[in-house]
A and B are shown apart, each in its own frame.
Chain A
C-alpha cells in the first residue's frame, strides 16, 4: 500500500509517520461526530498518536510496506480503539520507569506510560500475525 485507506470504522496506513495526521483526522472526526467532550477527544487522540508512533518505529520498524490498522468503535458509553502492527509485541510492564530520576531527562520512552495514564484500560496481545494494542476510554 502506498497511502492510507479507510473502510468503515477502520483506517489502514503504511508505516510512515507522515500519516499520523491522517489517523488523527479519522479518529478525531469519529469522536466529534459522537459528540464527545473535546478534552476526552484530545486524550484519546494523544494516546492513538503514541501507539501509531510505536507501531511505526518498533512494531514495523518503519518498513513502509508493513501496514498499521487502526479501528475504532463506540459502545455503551465508552470508546475502544485497536492499533495493530506486524511486530512481535512488547511487555508494557518491562518498559523503563520514565519517572525515575535517571530517566526524567530522556527524550523518549514515555509513550506507553502516557497512554496508560490517559486511558481507562490498555491491553497488548501479540501473535504470529502481529501485535494489537487495545485502549478503552469512557466518556
Chain B
C-alpha cells in the first residue's frame, strides 16, 4: 500500500493506494492518520478511490480515526468509496457511522 497526503481549504486529504490488509502497510496509514490528528488538524478526508480492498484491519483504522477526531470536535469524511468497501460498510453496519461522498470535492464542501 502507498499513501499520499495533501491539504486543501484547511482539510487534510489522505489517499491510500492498494490493499489495506494488516501488517506494516496498515500501520503506515494508522500512524499517518494519528500524526495528522495530533498535529491539530480537525478535518480529514480519506480518498478511497485507489484502494482495491480492505479488511477488518482497515475498518478498524477508519473507526480509530473517526473516534479520535470526534473526541476532539473534528470530522472525518470518506470519499470515492468503492463498491467493495461500500459492501463491507453495509455488512458491518458501519455505513451508519461514516459520512461518504462521491468525490473529494463533495466531501470538502460538506466540511465548509
Question: Chain A residues in contact with chain B, CB under 8 A?
Answer: 16-21, 24, 39, 42, 45-46, 49-50, 53, 98-99, 104-111, 113-114, 117-118
Contact = CB atoms under 8 A, between A and B. Distances in A.
A24 B93 CA distance: 26
B53 A45 contact: yes
26 contacts: A16-B23, A17-B23, A20-B23, A21-B21, A42-B53, A49-B21, A50-B56, A53-B22, A53-B56, A53-B57, A98-B92, A99-B93, A104-B93, A104-B94, A104-B96, A105-B63, A107-B60, A107-B63, A108-B56, A110-B56, A110-B59, A111-B55, A111-B56, A114-B55, A114-B56, A114-B91
B111 interface: no
Interface residues of B, number: 28
In terms of DSSP, what is the predominant structure of the interface of chain B? helix
A49 B22 contact: yes
Interface in B11-40: 19, 21-25
A113 B21 CA distance: 16
Given A17-B23, A45-B19, 18 more contacts: A17-B22, A17-B24, A18-B23, A21-B21, A21-B23, A24-B21, A39-B83, A46-B21, A46-B55, A50-B55, A104-B93, A104-B94, A105-B63, A105-B67, A106-B63, A110-B92, A114-B55, A114-B88
B99 to A, nearest CB: 15
B10 to A, nearest CB: 26
A106 to B, nearest CB: 7
Contacts of A110: 56, 59-60, 92
A17, A46, A50: residue with the most chain B Cβ atoms closer than 10 Å:
A46
B64 interface: yes
Contacts of B19: 24, 45, 49
Contacts of A45: 19, 53
Nearest to A53: B22
B21, B64, B83: residue with the most chain A Cβ atoms closer than 10 Å:
B21
B56 A39 contact: no
A119 to B, nearest CB: 12
B22 A42 contact: no
Contact of A39 (B25, B59, B66, B84): B84
B21 to A, nearest CB: 4
Nearest to A19: B23
